Amino acid sequence: MKTKRNIYLNMKPLEEARNIFFEHFSAAGTLITESVSPTDAVGRVLAEPVTAAVSSPNFHAAAMDGVAVKAEETFGASESRPKILAVGSQAVFVNTGHVMPYGADAVIMIENVQLVDTETICIEAPVFPWQHVRKMGEDIVATELLYPRGHKVTPYCVAALIAGGVFQVPVRKKPRILIIPTGSELVDWRSTVPEDMTPGQVLETNGYVLEKMVEACGGEAVRHEKVMDELDLIRRTVADAITGDMDMVMTIGGSSAGSQDYALPVLKKMGQMLVHGVTIMPGKPVLLGDIQGKPFVGIPGYPVSAIIAYEQFVQPMIQRMLGIADVPRETVPVTPTRKIASKLGVEEFLRVKLGQVGKKIVATPLPRGAGMITSLTEADGIIRIPSQAEGIKENDPVYAELLKPISTIRNTIVIVGSHDNTLDVLADELRVGDRSLTLSSSHVGSMGGLMAVKRGVCHLAGAHLLDTETGEYNISYLKRYLPETKVRLVNLVMRTQGLIIQKENPKGLSKIEDLCKNDVVFINRQGGSGTRILLDYQLAKIGLSSNQINGYADEEFTHMNVAVAVLSGTADAGLGIFAAAKALNLDFIPVVTEQYDLVIPEEYFNSPGIRRLLETIKTDSFKKRVEALGGYSTVKTGMVVSDL
């Protein structure tokens, strides 16, 4: 079949696109009503107002164990002038919840009753009318409104519905949303062995994620099996859904402008295009349309784009169908840890890690790729950078939408600096000792960590900066770059750095000098990282220039990313830690054992979170897990190396 590329003729700003889409469909109130039991109504939206059929309680009930009396017959009783009441005619023994005897309007607590004999009691204090009595209708009065239409039923509501005699609850039918993943490259995880996947195959994840997101906001998701990149096949699948009982159809993938992107041709053939392309990042290729009066959404294929497009268009449409408000996320003012550039003309949804440092909440950007689902799973919030801005200035306050509770943010230890695999172990071990404590680590290199400490945007930094003149680690750099900041240097681990190379060493590498071979491609760490400084030192020591290394300018930000580059064949070698090579079953040539320390400002050293962190790294459990990674020594772990 001859194919051609689609062209974004008229992309819309986000708010304009939303207005076009939502105003085109007057969806609220169109869903039919169904009746369910009170227990099955939890999470559902009321289609009609619900009124009580009976009162609760539906009789005057004793609220205490004691004696039911007519209040006026107790007036005047005191310690000096006690009153005697006849059991049966003036006083009736009752338990909590019992029906009040005819004529009685108060209960004397049993501990205030003196039993004279089987026929009389003595009281030394009066009670007032309706004291210790639950009057009929105290909680619910028959015919009163329990909940208005559009109310979302919670578990708390179940008791009120049942107590009010509402045994059938009118709710809006859940909107049925068909999810159609498209793409010939997709494979199903349920029938796939990961090790047998071939290059070009992609595990289908978006359909499962969006299925659960639809369910979470009150819809009924129907996930179709993946559909191959064939125009007629996709069209027939959409046609079957539109003529069925679906309320909305989503295709995943194929919404962009590529020659194999068929969402737009399907929409044009079957219905009306409303919007193709929105000026947001990620999520630009979203497609919005109408097929036979039903919303059609072409969701981009990259995971983060798919989620953001869903949250901005599909979720609010489902809520409109259900007749409930689209409640925005809570926002808080945050301070970026560094300057952030952004593309002019596009509203960017920047995923960030958050943590409270001192009196401010700091935000550290996560990787920005639309295909990086971990940038959402690890994110604490989202900063929306307006389309008319070219970025955010360093220390310039902005607002972030919270993805996690503010209590979690305030219980987060923020570490910025050099990457090390043991930080993942530390994050997990911290949760064992204190389930409310979270470790947020951002990998910007050792020098980046020191600058974060200097700016006061982290609780501690990870560093392994070699002083090439003395052979010491970190101390001279602290004196040079943090002369006015009092810090303590605590060792986390000693670790082995070396060349991470492909299995069985096909290029025959054995030492740093071999990186200069014409057929060797190197992958480097970013400038300012301790590993980069180590490499430059080793090159200078043997009289080599960085210009002699093919790939010296190609950078990664973590040891694991270096290892992945070698594993994938993008590079033949990279300098990194042994643990990264071991994790991906790569070979390794040791170069040096180095010291990886935690730089902790004095003002945070005795804070509860840092105290807990320092206790954790001294535990046998942490040390055993670290040593099992390979290439680490914990003989100095937890020791204060220097107090500057």
Q: pLDDT tens across 622-633, in order?
A: 999 999 999 999
Q: First-to-last CA distance in the chain? A: 71
Residue 257 has pLDDT above 70, yes or no: no
Are residues 499 and 378 located together in one domain of the fold? no
Are residues 348 and 400 located together in one domain of the fold? yes
- Tell me which of 161-170, 179-188, 337-346, 470-479 is least confident: 337-346
pLDDT of residue 9: 54
Are residues 213 and 244 located together in one domain of the fold? yes
Is 287 part of any domain? yes
pLDDT of residue 395: 74
Are residues 155 and 190 located together in one domain of the fold? no
What whole-number distance in Å separates Cα of residue 113 and Cα of residue 122?
6
Reading the block at residue 214, the tokens are 């639809």
Please name every residue paired with 493 in a beta bridge, in sequence order, or none if there are none.
Answer: 596
Is 124 part of any domain? yes
User: What CA–CA distances, in Å, run from 309 to 278, 287, 289, 318, 349?
Assistant: 9, 9, 14, 13, 11
Rounded mean pLDDT, 521-547: 93
Rounded mean pLDDT, 356-372: 90
Percent of the chain with pLDDT over 70: 97
pLDDT of residue 599: 97
Please name every residue paired with 473 in a beta bridge, in sequence order, or none if there are none.
Answer: 466
Are residues 337 and 390 located together in one domain of the fold? yes
Which CATH number belongs to the domain containing residue 499 in this structure? 3.40.190.10
Helix axes 422-433, 620-629, angle to 10 degrees: 160
pLDDT tier at 1, thresholds 50, 70, 90? very low
Are residues 502 and 588 located together in one domain of the fold? yes
Is 415 part of any domain? no
What range does the domain containing 501 cover? 460-643
Residue 62 has pLDDT above 80, yes or no: yes
According to DSSP, residue 334 is labeled E
Q: At 501, is the secondary structure helix, strand, or coil? A: strand
Is 446 part of any domain? no
Which CATH number belongs to the domain containing residue 203 in this structure? 3.40.980.10
Amino acid, res. 16: E
Q: Which residue has the higher pLDDT, 205 or 243?
A: 205
* Number of structural domains the chain divides into: 5
pLDDT tier at 26, thresholds 50, 70, 90? confident
Are residues 130 and 143 located together in one domain of the fold? no
Label each residue of 430-493 as H, E or C. HHHHCCCCEEEEEECCHHHHHHHHHHCCCCEEEECCECCCCCCECHHHHHHHCCCCCEEEEEEE
Single out the residue in 322, 354, 380 at which a domain terminates: 322
Tokens 């040891």, residue? Answer: 559
Are residues 179 and 233 located together in one domain of the fold? yes
What whole-number distance in Å separates Cα of residue 624 and Cα of residue 613?
16
What phi and psi values does residue 442 have, to the nearest 5 degrees? -125, 135
pLDDT of residue 88: 93
Q: Which residue has the higher pLDDT, 444 or 21?
A: 21
What whole-number distance in Å separates Cα of residue 261 and Cα of residue 199?
21
pLDDT of residue 28: 47
Residue 258 has pLDDT above 70, yes or no: no
Are residues 73 and 156 located together in one domain of the fold? no
pLDDT of residue 29: 47
Which CATH number belongs to the domain containing residue 150 in this structure? 3.90.105.10
Please name every residue paired with 33 in a beta bridge, in sequence order, or none if there are none.
Answer: 172
CB atoms within 10 A of CB 201: 12
According to DSSP, residue 409 is labeled H
Residue 391 has pLDDT above 50, yes or no: yes
Is 530 part of any domain? yes
Strand 487-501 vs strand 587-601: parallel, antiparallel, or unpaired?
Answer: antiparallel
Is 1 part of any domain? no
Is 418 part of any domain? no
pLDDT tier at 394, thresholds 50, 70, 90? confident
Which residues in 453-479 are b (16+ Cβ under 10 Å) and which e?
Answer: bbbbbbbbbbbbbbeeeeeebbbebbe
Is 447 part of any domain? no
Are residues 219 and 297 located together in one domain of the fold? yes
Residue 30 has pLDDT above 70, yes or no: no
pLDDT in tens, 561-614: 999 999 999 999 999 999 999 999 999 999 999 999 999 999 999 999 999 999
Q: Do the Cβ atoms of 472 and 543 come closer than 8 Å?
A: no
pTM value? 0.85
Least Cα distance to 613 among 379, 362, 441 occurs for 441
Residue 3 has pLDDT above 50, yes or no: no
Q: How far is CA 596 from the centre of its chain?
A: 30
Tokens 């535990």, residue? Answer: 619
Percent of the chain with pLDDT over 90: 84
- Tell me which of 54-58, 128-132, 365-369, 504-508 is least confident: 365-369
pLDDT of residue 5: 53
Average pLDDT of the chain is 92
Which CATH number belongs to the domain containing residue 371 in this structure? 2.40.340.10
Are residues 23 and 39 located together in one domain of the fold? no
Single out the residue in 287, 322, 357 at which a domain terminates: 322
Are residues 632 and 549 located together in one domain of the fold? yes
Single out the residue in 112, 134, 156 at which a domain terminates: 134
Q: What burial class does residue 98 get, using C-beta atoms within 10 Å of its C-beta: 0-12 exposed, 13-18 middle, 19+ buried?
A: middle
pLDDT of residue 7: 55
Which CATH number belongs to the domain containing residue 105 in this structure? 2.170.190.11
pLDDT in tens, 64-96: 999 999 999 999 999 999 999 999 999 999 999
User: What CA–CA distances, in Å, run from 273 to 4, 73, 276, 294, 398?
Assistant: 18, 80, 7, 12, 36
pLDDT tier at 244, thresholds 50, 70, 90? confident
